[in-house]
Amino acid sequence: MTTTLKKPVRSARKPKGDGHLRRGEILQAAERIFLAEGYQGATIRKIADEVGVSSTALYMHFRDKDEILLEICNSAFEILLKQNSEIAARPIDAVARVRLLLDAYITFALENSNAYQLIFCGQSGAISEEKQTITEELGDRCYEKFAGVVREIGATGRLRTGTVESAAQSMWTACHGMVALTMTKPKFHWAPTDELRSVLLDGLLYGLVTD
């Protein structure tokens, strides 16, 4: 599925002597181009033109497209990891923490839709295997924080069905499905977002966890 994006207004070309180019500006432009044109369709020249600098100036910050995409992925996963670590450590009931983790995941996805679609809805293998391994390891750490809390529920015998892993994966994939579909099918007559996410989380937890 593809998403039609409104083409952003390009930045004016920065003066040759401007030494204050921010990496964040490059990353934001690259996110838009990767999403709109795919990894293969994006080029350093297109990204540089979007930011308003020369390709040579851009190479002063990033060696290649792989490095740009890797930083986008890592930045997003680091935010998720910090978020998941904080919620997982709260001294409250495990079921309440699972709901908070899932709700925070949905919020993150909706507030960072470009990065989310690029990372979780894009084609695998866009970057080199070495760099992809780094990102996958960080993603696994994010998932492990969530799954660890689900294990706490399982340890008390409160799972209605399945194993800890199948329960955790089912909840994760359900939330991903909701955010991915609402992003890629914006013209569908969706229920209000807050209502949709509340019904989804209620259904998941009431269906999988006993009182």
For residue 1, pLDDT over 60 is answered with: no
Q: Would you list the domain boundaries of the chain? A: 1-62, 65-208
Q: ∠ at Cα 145 (98, 88), nearest 5°?
A: 55
What pLDDT score does 94 carry?
Answer: 97
Largest CA distance in the chain: 65
Beta bridge partners of 209: 159
Please indicate whether residue 189 or residue 114 has the higher confidence score (pLDDT): 189
Name the fold adopted by 65-208.
Answer: Tetracycline Repressor; domain 2 (1.10.357)
Burial 22-34 (b: 16+ CB within 10 A, else e): eeebbbbbbbbbb
For residue 14, pLDDT over 70 is answered with: no
pLDDT digits (tens, 9 = 90+) for 57-113: 898 899 888 888 888 888 888 889 999 999 999 999 999 999 999 999 999 999 888
For residue 4, pLDDT over 50 is answered with: no
Domain 1-62 bears CATH identifier 3.30.70.600: no
- pTM, two decimals, is 0.80
Task: Tell me the H-state helices in 42-124.
Answer: 44-51, 55-59, 65-88, 94-111, 113-120
The region, left, alpha or beta by phi > 0 then psi within -120 to 50, assigned to residue 33 is: alpha
